[in-house]
Structure formats: C-alpha cells, structure tokens
Structure 1
Amino acid sequence: MRSDVEFVSQLSARLGADYSETKSYVRDVPTQALLHIRSMTHWLVNQIGQMQQLTFDGPNLYDRIEQLNKQRLINVRTTRLLHKLRGHGNRGAHPEKYHLSSTQLVALAEKAVADFLALIEMLYPLFTQQQAPSFAFVHFDQSAGRDLCYRAIMEDDHHAQYLVGMSLKNKALMLKEQQLALADSGEQDVEAQALLNKSVSAKLENAAYWFAKAGPFDADALFEHGVALLHGYLGEADEVAGQAAIKQAAEQGVVNAMALLGYFYLVGSHQIAQDLKLAEHYLYAAAQQEQAEAMSNLGVLYYQQGQLEQAYDCISRAAKSGFPNAQYHLALMLANGDGCQIDLGGSEHWLAEAAEQGQLDAMLARAQHMLNDDNAFGEQLSQAEVYLRDVIRYGRSVPAMIELSVALADGVLGRIDVVGAAALLKMAADYGNEQELQVIEPIWQSLEMQIESVIAVTQAKDQLKSLYRAQELLSWAE
C-alpha cells in the first residue's frame, strides 16, 4: 500500500516533497513544521482559485479562504479545516505568545499533519476527478533529528545548522515555560530552578553558536544571529551588533527581519532613531508578505498618524491572520468606531478570539465581562478564573490580582476562598503602583472586616484555621 507521502505526491510532486520535509521537522523543530503547514495550505488555496478561474481580492489567507467559501467553491467542512490549518501555522509563527510546552508544541505539529492529510483526502476529487485512494500513514521518523545534526556538523549544511539552532532555541523557550510553572506552583525548589536555568542558558548558547556559524551563508540564520546578540544568548547583550545583523537580514529580504526593523524605526531605540518613513517602508514590505505582526504595527503607525481607516484595514487583516494583539486592538476599534462603524457584537467576537489565543489584555477584559454578567454560568465563570490566573502568571497584572481577589472573597466563582483572596491582594500590594495601591486599600480593609466578622461567629476549626491564615497574610504587609 502507498505511504502518506506517496499519496500526497500523487496530487502534486512539489506538495509531496514539502509534506515529506514537514514531517521530518515535527519532532525536533515543530515550529518549522507548523510554518510549512501554513505555506502548503496557502498553496492549496491558490491552486483552487486558479482551477476555478477566481481572482482573489487580496493576499491574506483568511480572506482568500472566505472568498472561496462565499463563492461556494469549497464546502463548509473544507472551509473549517483550512481555517484550522491556518491557525496551526499562526501558532508556529508566534509560539512565544501561546505558552505551549515542548510536548504540546510537538503534539500540535502532529495534529496539524493529520489535519493536512484529511484536507488532501477531501480535496483529492476536486483536483483529480477521482476518489482518494487508500494509504498507510508512516510514523514520524525518530532519526530525523540525528540526520539534521549530521548534515549540520559533517556536511556543513548551513540550512541544517539554522534548523538545529531553531530546535535548540525553541527547547530553551519551552524550558522557560517550565520555570514559570515551577515558580507559580509555590514550591521553593532552588535546586530545580538552578538546573532549569543552566539548561536554558546552555541551549541558548548552543543555538547562538549555530546561528553565528550559518549566518554568513543563510539569511534566516543571520536574522536569528541578530536576535541572539540582541537578547544576550551568550550572556551579555550586544544591541549594536544585533540590530546591525537584523538590518542586514532585512535588506536580504527576510520577512521577520523586515518586520522587526520596521518596529525598531517605529518606536526608536538607543541605536536606531525613530523614523516613521522607514518604519512604514519596512512594515509595509513585510505586511505585503503576510507577516501579521508587521500588518498590526503598520496599523498602529497609521492610527498614531490619525489615518483611522487605513489603521482599521491593516489591523483587521492582521486579526484575520490570527495575530492575537491585532485581534485585541480590532476589538477596541470596533467598540469605539475608530475607522469603522461601531459593532459591539464584532468587538466581543474579536475580544474572545484574542483571549482564546492568550492575549493578556483580552483575557483580562473577557474575564471582567464574564464576572460582571448576571447571566454567566459555571463554565463561563471557570473560564474567567483561568483567564485571570494566566494574566497574573504571565503578566503580573495587578488589576487581574485585584479582580480575582474580590471574586474569591465574594463567592462569585461559586466558592469563598479568603486565603486565596488575601494572598492575591498581598501580591497586588507588592506589585502595585501608587494609583493601584489607592484602589487596593479599601478592598483590603473590607476583606479584613469580612474575616473578623466570620471569626466572631464561627466555631468550625478548619474554617477558623483558614481565616487566621488569611489574617496573617494581610498583616504581613501592614
């Protein structure tokens, strides 16, 4: 029986080769596999358009899928699967924004491959006028990573060196997630934290080595070399050399480098003076190649210049491409009617999309909406708590600490937890600025009074133990 690679190759030899390469990245460089999935999805959408003699209105993948759907050239099932694959690719482009562990990232890449195969089966009759033949899926090659290392070391393959560097970088970022999880667990395991720190540093150092080695020959590696210098993968950051490498990579056409350089010109830095014309030049060039963050920042530039309709257009495109920050900003623009008609329903939709993808401001706003909704039920309230805890974990947000503390003290979440409320309020006081401390003070006093009033009337030992613990937490900050 034919293999899955042979099956895809029957549809297109080029697609089969790309699919085979994608599978080789899944275990060791899952982000690269996800980016390949998005690229192959884009190719399939373009092929469908050509077959149906359809001229697309723009380059955005979201819009192209929707255009095919509205023209009824693909069915609802195919539309959903294409959007799902687009979403998988977005997570590969911005893995740091989704807080996924290494295991979760590999699982996502494996799922994306399975979804892509399902799409090929679905589209096979459209492309060939024949039913899709049977095939056997060949499991992911465990030796692919070793082959990549062999090519990088023994054959001096510069692209393989870049990919080895990316694998090490991604593993380091995932280990940082473990550090956060360990810190949030409340366990004071100094030895475990030290081991994680050592492992993160070692992986980043090794990644920096491979990026530096491949950089003179591979533009993508040159960009990552610049990022490594900028963030001090080898210990001390070198902003001058890092930005110079990124600029060189941008001039060689690396899309992510153009997007980052455009951002530097947009906000200015110690080494790069703010230059809005150059910012627009680089952001526009990257946006034309569907770099969602560049689209979003181009929208920010237009917004700052008062060109609200152009800002709305850019941010809307970036939001539809799946970029969480753009989805949040689109929600705000729709709520305020900035460059568009006010659309509160659309605003809530994009706020929910951004929150689901881990955008911290959107998660806080959605949680507040849920907690203030008299019709919210158990599942929504549980989701609100998850959002608030994630915002606290990743953003150290004082408003989120206050919001969750009040919800726990008042029993809004279906239970009263004065110890948790006191701990969160104490944390908020530790992190809060003067204005936030003014908000915290009356809540603090109210919680103290609540605890004292319950102590006066209860005789339950377990409850008293919790109440005294909450009092102790509040007394530490006095």
Structure 2
Amino acid sequence: MQHMNKKEIKTTVVADYMLIQGISEGLGAAYKQAISMYVADCYCESLVNFRSCLSNILNILGYINTRDVTLKDLIEDLNNSGKVNLMIPNLMHKIRIAGNKGSHSEEYPEENFNILCNQTYKNFIHLIKLLYPVLHSSNECPTIELTLEKELNIVVMASRALFEDDSNAQYLIAKKLYSNAQNKLLSSTMGYANKKTILELDNGEIETRYHDKRTAFNTTIALQLFDSCQYSMPEAAYEYGKLLLTDGHWLKSASAEDSSHEEGVRRVHFAAIHGISDALYLHGCIRLHGLYSQDINVDYALEDLEEAANKNHPKATLELAKYYYNLGKFELAKNYYVLAEQRGSSIAQCALAKNFIDGTFILDDRYQIDVLLLESSNAGVTEAKLLRARFMIDDSSKKFNPDIPNLYDEYLEKVMDAEVLLEYAQYLIDHNELPAKAMSLLHMAFKEAKHTGHKLLVELLELVLPKIYYEPDSFQMVFKFPPEAQIKLHDFESHKSKARKINPREMTSTAKSADPKLGRNEPCYCGSGKKYKMCCLQ
C-alpha cells in the first residue's frame, strides 16, 4: 500500500495557481499578476512581477528584502548557506536580472522582451519544482499543469469584461489594448495632428507621437475599461490617471486639457494612497518637479518616492539619487545610485562611473569603473558610450584601439556635438588612423560649431582646416595634418586667455624685441613655454 501511495503522489496533477497559492497567498497573487501581464503582452510588467514572486519566496525562506539588503545579496546569502543546490540561486539570479530589465526596458532597446518573458516563465516554474519540498514541507513536488495562462486567455477575458462586468478581466483587456497601441506608436511618427501623445522611447527620451485610427480606437476603449474598474482596482486608477495626463486633451474632448490633468493627478494620487508603486513614483515626480501645473511639495514628494523605493521600485530609487545629488548630498546620493544600480538601472551605472571618474564619489578600482561603463554602454545608455571612449583613451597605451571609434560613432548617432567630433578626429590624427574619416569629422565639427555658435571652436578650426595638405596618390587620397590639428580645445582656450591678460604695451615691447630669425621649433618669445610655431606664429 505504501508503494501505491508513493506512486499516487508522483502522478498527482495540480494546477499551477492552486499549487503556488498553497505555498503563500502573497506568492499566488504576484504569480497571477505576472501571468495576467504575460497574456496581455505586457512583457516588461510581467517580468517585474516574476521578480516580486522571487522576493516572496525569499521572505518565506527567512531572507527579508529591505532597502539596505538587496535581492542580489539575499540570493547570495541563500547560496552561501549551503541549504540548496547551486541550480536554485542560478535560476533566481536569472529571474532577478530579467525583472531588472523589465523595470528599465527603455535602457535595453535591443532586448526581445517576449522571448525573455517566456524563458523567465519557464525558469520560475522550474524554480518552484526545485524549491517545493522546502517551501511546502513535502518530499516531492506534484506534476504542475499550467492552467492559469489558459484561464486568463484574452478571448475568455474579453467575454468576461463585456458580459460579466468582471473588473479583473476589464483591467486585463485594457492593458492588452493599450500595450498594442503603444507598440504601434513606437514604430511610427505619423498620425492625426490633434491626437498627440507622450511616449518614452527605447533610448529613454520623451517624445511626442500622434495616434492613427487604430491606436486611437484601442486607447479610447482602454480608457473606458480602466474607468469601469478603477474604483475596485487601484492599479486601474493609476492607468486611467496616467492616460488622462498623456492623452486626456483628446480623449476627454468635452473638457479642457487642464481639467484632464487635474483629474489625472487625482486618480494617480488615489492609486498612490493605496500603495501602488508606479503611482507612488509618478505622483512623487509630479510633486517634486511641479509637473502638470501642480504646486511643488518636496516633503510630500520625497515621502511618496521613499515609499516606492522601499517597495524596490528602481526608478523611484534613481529619482531620489538624482535629487540628493543636485542637493550636494553626495554620500546619500551615492547610496541611492548604488541601490538603483543593484535594482537594474544602467543609467545609475553610468552616473556612478562618471562620479567615480571625476572624484565626486571615491573608488580607486579602475577595473570596477570599466565594468560599470561596459555594462551601461552595452545596455544602450548614450552618455556611457562617450564616457567609456574617454576612459579607454586615458587607460590605454599609445596603441590604437578600434573599439574607441565605434563608441564615438554610436554616441554621435544620438547626440551631435561639435567638441566630441573634434575630440574623435584628434584621436584618429594622434594615431595616424583613418585620415579621410578624421578630415570628414573636422569639417562636421566646423559646421556644427558654426550652427551652435561655438566661437572658440570655429576659431580653432579656421586655423586648422586651411593648413591640411592632401593629394591623391595612385590608390587613395593622402592627408597630412598640421601640428595645430592636435591642439586640444582647452589648451587653445587657455592660450587665448593668457594672451588677453598681457598688457598691450608689454605685447608691443615684446614683439619689437623678438628675434626676426626665431626658428619655428624654438621657444616662443612670449614666455608661454611653447614652440614658436605652436604659439605666437599662429
């Protein structure tokens, strides 16, 4: 009989939600939310909820996630305890990293979040199977049937939303419709001029886009569904309020834009009062910066942002880091940047590296700085690409590094900057590489400097460009750059500043006493310490 019982246990099939909810109601709720977002194609939000499931599991195991102890630290503590096999911490780290990417999707433009979410779903179920004996004080995990995904099928949910007044179904369908509209808007800049909206692009920038017929229809239905369930679901109140802030001017045609903003802020505030992390973050930003014509209330804003950060909201953590940095409280800012970095923010990685390099924050380990810049630039943070190029130039030998031009190119694709163009050209000239490219960069720098009114750079390039010698040989154009092409902009500015400080009489006297036969390579008579050809001969 005992043998039969064991066999019976092995062949028992349990629905995934029932099994997970049996471990913990909180874990069951987080799992249901993760799957709800998964079937609605809201993959980034699903990943964040899978990460929340991870926090629940660690709490059950006695590892409590606080502001001072990160999820990464807790997983390492579990690994070091020796109570679980190595596969469990490895799976946990994969789920954690995927959740971090979901929290900062704008920083990972190359990531396929559909594939990542699907793999994270599998990793989570695998993790539950491995941990079930520990979590449920049982010898073996029964066979898990993935029924929740089928129950939350979008067609079934649509029927419940329309005919059964099911709040959860209404919320899920609204998320699906709004997600579809957002994805289409990201791929096009065309649409109706009177139906503009605000979007966060893959590179993290905020841009105005315009709805077409399909995206406007989906967004309108989504707003109505969020409205239907917002009083029973604070999450829906947040989505409804956020939509009014970005699209209320055309969605609520009977009311003015200001009144849409007022109502939107009220609904976001309602969700924040009910502890919705995204709402706490958004409401905190509104109050901190006085957005949507709201009065600035720093104390109120910090309270919201702190609460969101305590709920492991990475963007709220990053916002607090920026706030304290601007206040000059660098040690506190550093702590928040470190916490934001541990929660997956590549922007925080870039900020940390930048402040370590300029000495605002103290770190002597240049290898660690390089790792921060590498990960941040690989994630697509534009500023990190420029910082890493400069960091590699400072750290490298005289040998040419082909990765540096690549980083400059990637940066200049997003940000056209005359000084960076000059800096890039001078790196190539210094190493006698890609002379045609260097010539092109100098001309681009000159054009951009004139366009932006950068008089000092225009003056330097007016000195350099006429002196570049080039002639065609049998295979390619040969360029010869004058010594002036290697003058750094700050040196040029410093020299001009010194020249302006010299008394005109002294300049006349010095000029008269100068040896007319002074050689180009001899020290300049003005006393600057530079060669004559690099100084007053110019």
Q: Using structure 1 for the length normalisation, give the TM-score.
A: 0.72
Deviation by residue 1:382-411 (Cα, 9 ceiling, x = unmatched): 6973x6566555x54537973897499769
Question: Which residue identity does 1:65 align to in structure 2?
Answer: I
Contact 1:69 1:79 in 2 (8 A): yes
Q: Secondary structure at the match of 2:187?
A: helix
Distance 1:113 1:413 in 2: 52
Tell me: CA distance 1:195–1:406, structure 2 relative to 1, closer, same or farther (3 Å): same
User: What SS does the corresponding residue of 1:453 show, helix, strand or coil?
Assistant: strand
Matches within 5 A, 1:252-331: 252-269=274-291, 271-331=293-353
Indicate which of 169, 177, 186 corresponds to 1:168. 177
Does residue 32 (structure 1) correspond to residue 45 (structure 2)? The answer is yes
Q: Which amino acid aligns with 1:353?
A: E
User: Residue 216 of structure 1: SS of its match in structure 2?
Assistant: coil
Q: Which residue in the other structure is 1:209 paired with? A: 224
* Distance in 2 (alpha carbons) for counterparts of 1:169 and 1:55: 32
Amino acid at match of 2:263: A
**1-side partners of 2:239 and 2:266: how far apart?**
12
Letter in 1 for 2:46: A
The equivalent of 1:184 in structure 2 is none
* Distance in 2 (alpha carbons) for counterparts of 1:174 and 1:424: 39
How far apart, CA to CA, are the structure 2 residues paired with 1:413 and 1:107? 44
String of CA shifts for 1:90-125, please: whole Å, max 9, x gaps. 233333343368xx2221210211222333344345
Paired position in structure 1 for 2:127 = 119
TM-superposed CA distance for 1:320, in Å, is 0.8
Shift of 1:431: 11
Name 1:147's counterpart in structure 2. 156
Aligned to 1:473: none
- How many residue pairs match? The answer is 438
- Cα 1:372–1:16 shift into 2, 3 Å: same
User: Aligned match of 2:118 in 110, 134, 139?
Assistant: 110
Could you tell me the percent identity over the aligned residues? 21
**Which range is displaced more, 140-149 or 441-450?**
441-450
Distance 2:127 2:415 in 1: 41
Contact 2:51 2:95 in 1 (8 A): yes
Measured in 2, the distance between the counterparts of 1:303 and 1:399 equals 28
Please list, as runs of the form range in 1=range in 2, the aligned pairs for 1:42-121 lying within 5 A after superposition.
Answer: 42-49=55-62, 58=68, 60-73=70-83, 77-99=87-109, 104-121=112-129
- Are the structure 2 counterparts of residues 431 and 66 from structure 1 closer, same or farther at C-alpha, using a change threshold of 3 Å? farther
Structure 2 residue 233 is the aligned partner of structure 1 residue 222: no
One-letter code aligned to 1:255: S
Distance change in 2, residues 1:310/1:422 (3 Å): closer
Query: Greater helix percent: which structure?
Result: 1
Match of 1:467 in 2: none
Higher strand share: 2
CA RMSD of aligned residues (A): 4.7
Gaps in structure 1 of 5+ consecutive residues: 181-193, 465-478
Aligned-partner residue type, residue 55 of structure 2: H
Give, in whole Å, the separation in 1 of the partners of 2:221 and 2:89.
Answer: 41
Provide the residue aligned with 2:470 in structure 1.
453
- Could you tell me how far apart the structure 1 residues matched to 2:217 and 2:424 are? 39
Give 1:35's aligned amino acid. V
Closer/same/farther in 2, CA of residues 218 and 74 from structure 1, 3 Å limit: same
Kindly name which structure, 1 or 2, has the bigger radius of gyration based on alpha carbons. Answer: 2
Q: How big is each residue's C-alpha offset from its partner over 1:5-52, in whole Å with a ceiling of 9 and x where there is no partner?
A: 5499278375567546634542423233212211111112222236xx
